[in-house]
Amino acid sequence: MNTMQDKEREADLEQRIRCYEELESRAQWPGAMGMADYLAALLLTVGLVVACYVWGV
């Protein structure tokens, strides 16, 4: 059963696959977190934990 809805889903899936393959072939992913981003997240987390501990003591 190849209904119109199945054909639209297939076309959408093919388009998504092409997009991901194109992204995979690039060296740099757009929006990917770098080392500075991870370090900032770690420092903010540690700062929040310390602040909550000091506030609670």
Question: Is the confidence at residue 10, as pLDDT, over 80?
Answer: yes
Residue type, 25: S
Record the pTM.
0.53
Burial 34-55 (b: 16+ CB within 10 A, else e): eeeeeeeeeeeeeeeeeeeeee
Domain boundaries, the chain: 4-56
Taking residues 35-56, report their average pLDDT.
Answer: 96
CA neighbours closer than 13 Å in the CB half-sphere of residue 11: 7
